[in-house]
Structure 1
Amino acid sequence: MKKKINNFYIKYFVILISIFIISCSSGDINNPEPIPEIDISEVTLTEPPANLSKELQIIWDTYQYLLQDHVDQKNLELDSLAEGAVIGIFENLNDQHSGYISPERFALQQSGFEGKFEGIGATVQQTKDGRRVVIVAPIDGSPAEEAGIKAGDIILAVDGVDTDGWTVMEAVNKIRGKGGSPVILTIQRIGESLPLDIKIIRGEIKLPSVRSTQLKEAPYAHIRVSSFTKETHTELKNVMKNLDKNNQGIILDLRRNPGGLVTSVVDIASEFLKEGSMVMYEIKGNGQRKNWLVKSKGKYTNIPMVVLVNEYSASGSEVLSGALQDHNRAVVIGTTTFGKGSVGIQRRLSNGGGIFYTVARWYTPLGRLIENVGLEPDVIQKQPGNETDDLQLDAAITQLNFQIDGES
């Protein structure tokens, strides 16, 4: 009996020792990870700004601790730490149309709506899954077009840097650069099994946003609006003034139009809609609603027109086509649009950089949400990639013929 009791205590002691060893082990006996010592000594922190919210106090505390205690405190790059904090905020914002712009890139962003900039000359949008950016279209005559970039190319890397998780702004900021400098885009192209590396020499890109062609096969003007800049409204008015005297209708082509200035969109809508018409409305984060109305009586409210859109028609082009569609002003032909119906804003920061983020969502006059949904055309007409004829343009001509024949 005594032997059994001794055996019991021996086993019990062994178990206790085993538990102690396991509990003190860090998982890797050969490479134990030391637990940092908790310093409970008092550290005097500089008082935070008076208006700093309680939630941001931890950022201020962290900044102060690093300045006082970090082993490389004398070599800390405070600008980089501050930028990292801002980037971290946007990474947790769950807004794919937001981010931080470095000072050296912020000036480049401002030139996009001026009618010219330096870069490769291509518009981009976020892919549907939000992980990459995709080429909407190269600008006619641009370095991108000359190098062989095509609509639908998904950018996998820029100068060897993986683009996974990049926002549109991040991609634009990395791809743009001084004229004459090279950039290599690694792209995935539809129909190609392997990625392609395309070298592009940047240049100055002039942005005439409106081009017009009088069709030979029909008495209609094909008016292509590629973006909405400060000059777009003026360019459109000049085109409309100089239409062929025998012209009977217009085809407003918004395919591959990524958007632009909302004021420009409203100005153009005002040329085709009756006075007092709503172009769209926006709902801000605080629930406040803002109506965007036609600015003045339009000069072209009766001319027969058709609007062309596709899956790369985004933002402002969706607002314009939605307004013309809701007011029964034009038949919209093509495929469902991209679905970028959010109002973005840029703010300049004190370091010369900037931030961009979503402040509201757009709705068509009849209350249709654009964001992540897109707009459904009145007439669905796809354009196969291997089709040489413009089937959507042909459908627009057929529609105008029907409208005009029905009126006569």
Structure 2
Amino acid sequence: MKNKKYITLGFASVTIAISILFSANLFAKATENTEKEASRLEALAKFTKVISIVEQYNVDDITIEELMDKALQGMMGNLDAHSNFLTQKDYKKLKVQTDGEFGGLGITVGIRDGALTVIAPIEGTPADKAGLKSGDIILKINEKSTLNMTIDEAVAIMRGKVGDPIEITIVRKGEAKPLPISIVRGVITIESVYAKTIGKDILYVRVTSFDKKVVEDVMKAINKKKAMIKGIVLDLRNNPGGLLDQAVGLVDLFVDEGQIVSQKGRNKSDDQVYSAKKSNTVTNVPLVVLVNGGSASASEIVSGALQDHKRGVILGENTFGKGSVQVVLPITQKEAIKLTIARYYLPSGRTIQAVGVKPDIEVQPGEVKKQEDGFSIKEADLKKHLEEELDKANGDAKDKDKKSKKAEEDKSKKDIITQEQLYKDIQLKESVDIIKALIIVKG
């Protein structure tokens, strides 16, 4: 009986101790919450006081609404390069469908080291034809300084009526002085995917941006040539990104299983993991991915995921380093905020943000230098020359020249990349050489 009493008392003592500990934890948490709330109220009071003082004593008359807008712009702009407050005008512009036609330059811009920077010119657009390059820093737009200008403000100025001119002043690496570039706004229509063949068995696929049909179009290009292709070059150079689901889907065409990308935020509800499915894989032929400083966001997810899975060789230059997730959250019916809520992580767990994807093989852009051996002539060249001279003597030279010219034009119109084109693009030439080596290794 004594033992029983002792045991009962022991359990009671433990229960009391747990209760005291639990109560202490609750008290500590309640105290912490009270302190946080007091600090929050104090900060809000300070903010209200500053607003009131500025409204009352500022040298220029300014309304409370204008003050609040400025305060919100300053607060959001100081969080990170991609978060900002959208006024009624900004929000309306953001709602414009990106797949519709609009007058613009055809560049994607971002903030790098506090400067408005060209991420990539979109191929074939006025900006591309005018010579804007990835990495160019935009100093002025129509004589207006870009200092402290948000991305949305810059885009709003650059967009405009088709046919209207605009002048961009840029700073380019390697140039001693700022360069003024005049561009005429054009209708921006983008061909996101196109494919060509190199030789008999290599498929070249160029993806310029990640719109809603990228996966479908790349799959069609592969399936069309599937019987003959032994290797693929996937070109993501100057691709500024786009839809996440298309980036995931593109990786899924080449990877059988495993994680493709994950996003992690402060709130668990924002966390997502995207994985590959074997049923979506269309080919396992050797793959080389071309990237450069204009490859951003979705392009970095694709190249980084393929690199982590050791599914392809990444060749070119370090990518831009944009690995964050933004959402637009309405705060009124006419205004909103764009807020960074998460970051992307590659299968290995590494982040893209501000780091980018480092290529497996670094190759700078340029032309392939041809070896100059001085004058030389082969027997075949001599024979061809003599035949042409004979044709001229017979009066057939003009007809042959016309036929030859037409044959060359027809050849250039076909979906092929010539040897001459390869020699003008050393990164592409290197990627083809690697693909050929991988095909031999694979047997």
- TM-score of the two chains, using structure 1 as the length reference: 0.76
What is the SS of the residue equivalent to 1:340? coil
What is the SS of the residue equivalent to 1:355? strand
- 1:278 and 2:259 matched: yes
Query: Quick one: structure 1 residues 370 and 150, their matched pair in 2 at CA, closer, same or farther if it must change by over 3 Å?
Result: closer
Tell me how far 1:244 sits from its aligned partner.
6.9
Query: Quick one: structure 1 residues 339 and 136, their matched pair in 2 at CA, closer, same or farther if it must change by over 3 Å?
Result: closer
What is the SS of the residue equivalent to 2:149? coil
In structure 2, C-alpha distance between the alignment counterparts of 1:201 and 1:371, rounded to whole Å: 33
1:317-328 correspondence runs (5 A): 317-328=299-310
Task: Work out whether residues 157 and 185 of structure 1, in 8 Å CA contact, stay in contact via their aligned partners in 2.
Answer: yes
Q: In structure 1, what is the equivalent of residue 69 of structure 2? A: 83
In structure 1, C-alpha distance between the alignment counterparts of 2:197 and 2:203, rounded to whole Å: 5
Which residue identity is paired with 1:97? H
Query: Quick one: structure 1 residues 168 and 239, their matched pair in 2 at CA, closer, same or farther if it must change by over 3 Å?
Result: farther
- 1:156 and 2:130 matched: no
Which residue identity is paired with 2:67? L
How many pairs were matched up?
350
What is the CA deviation profile of residues 77-134 of structure 1, one whole-angstrom value per residue up to 9, with x for unaligned ones? Answer: 45432321211212442x122223333233433447536543111122333xx22222
Task: Work out whether residues 134 and 293 of structure 2, in 8 Å CA contact, stay in contact via their aligned partners in 1.
Answer: no
What is the SS of the residue equivalent to 1:90? helix
Query: Quick one: structure 1 residues 399 and 344, their matched pair in 2 at CA, closer, same or farther if it must change by over 3 Å?
Result: same
In structure 2, C-alpha distance between the alignment counterparts of 1:102 and 1:201, rounded to whole Å: 28
Q: In structure 2, what is the equivalent of residue 235 of structure 1? A: 217
Q: In structure 1, what is the equivalent of residue 103 of structure 2? A: 118
In structure 2, C-alpha distance between the alignment counterparts of 1:201 and 1:101, rounded to whole Å: 27
Unpaired runs of at least 5, structure 1: 1-52
State the identity %. Answer: 34
Task: Work out whether residues 138 and 146 of structure 2, in 8 Å CA contact, stay in contact via their aligned partners in 1.
Answer: yes
- TM-score of the two chains, using structure 2 as the length reference: 0.70
- 1:221 and 2:223 matched: no
Which residue identity is paired with 1:330? G
Alignment counterpart, residue 361 of structure 2, candidates 361, 373, 379: 379
What is the SS of the residue equivalent to 1:234? helix
Task: Work out whether residues 281 and 364 of structure 1, in 8 Å CA contact, stay in contact via their aligned partners in 2.
Answer: yes
Q: In structure 1, what is the equivalent of residue 428 of structure 2? A: 393
In structure 2, C-alpha distance between the alignment counterparts of 1:100 and 1:174, rounded to whole Å: 17
Query: Quick one: structure 1 residues 323 and 386, their matched pair in 2 at CA, closer, same or farther if it must change by over 3 Å?
Result: same
- 1:264 and 2:243 matched: no
Q: In structure 2, what is the equivalent of residue 13 of structure 1? A: none
Query: Quick one: structure 1 residues 267 and 397, their matched pair in 2 at CA, closer, same or farther if it must change by over 3 Å?
Result: same
In structure 1, C-alpha distance between the alignment counterparts of 2:171 and 2:367, rounded to whole Å: 15
- 1:192 and 2:159 matched: no
Query: Quick one: structure 1 residues 91 and 150, their matched pair in 2 at CA, closer, same or farther if it must change by over 3 Å?
Result: closer
In structure 1, C-alpha distance between the alignment counterparts of 2:126 and 2:172, rounded to whole Å: 18
What is the CA deviation profile of residues 253-290 of structure 1, one whole-angstrom value per residue up to 9, with x for unaligned ones? Answer: 1111121221221122222221x421111221246742
Unpaired runs of at least 5, structure 2: 1-39, 370-422
